[in-house]
Amino acid sequence: MKKLLFLIQIIAVAILYSSTSYASGGHGNGKGHGHHKHKHHHAPIERHYYHEEIHHYPAPQARYAPEPPRHYDQRSTEGLVGGALGSALGYEIGKGDPVASGLGAAAGSYIGNGIGGSRR
């Protein structure tokens, strides 16, 4: 029994001592970092700096897209009225034939746009 108590005391001391030695950085004095009696010598670090070449490139030339061609709307109020009158006239002359009505509308629109375009 005495051996068991002695063994427990040794294990307890070992556990208590090991936790303080790890907390102090492994030196075992329990005071933590910075209270060592050892002096650490640090070798200077050589750093080499290289001069980086700076390249200057000319500014790119501005390129503009060509202007889109302008298409003028050739429709006019006169063309709309001419189409309506031509359609009615074609319907009457063709006695209700849809083809005659369509041809009358096309002819009336053409003539009406011609009249409207000559005024501009």
Torsion over CA: 105, 107, 111, 113 (sign) = positive
Banded model confidence at residue 104, pLDDT cuts 50, 70, 90: very high
- From the list 83, 74, 81, the residue with the least C-alpha distance to 108 is 83
Per-residue pLDDT, 55? 84
**Residue pair 82/112 in contact by the 8 Å Cβ criterion:** yes
Highest mean pLDDT among 27-31, 54-58, 85-89: 85-89
CA of residue 27 relative to chain centroid, distance: 56
Q: Residues of the chain with pLDDT > 70: what percent?
A: 73
Other CB atoms within 10 A of residue 78 CB: 19
pLDDT in tens, 39-75: 667 788 888 777 788 888 888 888 888 888 887 666 6
How many Å apart are CA 22 and CA 37, to the nearest integer? 17
